[in-house]
Amino acid sequence: MNILYDYIYYAGAFGLIFIGIFTMMVKRNYIKVIIGLSILETGVNLFLISVGYISNGTAPIFSNPGIEAKNMVDPVPQALVLTAIVIGLAVLSLALSMAIRLYKHFGTLDLQQIKEQRW
């Protein structure tokens, strides 16, 4: 197996994470920063899921009596991701609500201009 196959999910996940961080680092628009955050969270979730994956695995549901337990993927990361998604959602909605208020107060979403609180 080549390395790419082994790590393709991880690479994807971390690729998203880095894109997210990079976006947050260089973008001045608050909405874009939120998008970066969202990408970052997605990346993290993807990473968590791929941690628990096993090759050729199935969902850990005993929907039929005959299902083998052997090939089931790790259920824990899935549970974690469920939580992480909800938390991400909460943060995101809060961030967006603040964006609304921010625009009302400052008339801009450019973070470089919103520097009243410094030093």
Which residue of 31, 106, 107, 108 would you call a contact of other proteins, by CB under 8 A?
A: 106
Cα angle vertex 61, ends 60, 66, to 5°? 110
Tell the smallest beta-carbon distance from residue 47 to other proteins (Å). Answer: 5
Distance (Å, rounded) from C-alpha 38 to C-alpha 44?
Answer: 10
Residue 16 found at the interface with other proteins (CB under 8 A): no
- Beta bridge partners, 72, equal 58
* DSSP, res 65: T
x/- letters, 50..69, toward other proteins (CB under 8 A): xxxxxx-x-xxxxx-x---x
Tell the smallest beta-carbon distance from residue 86 to other proteins (Å). Answer: 5
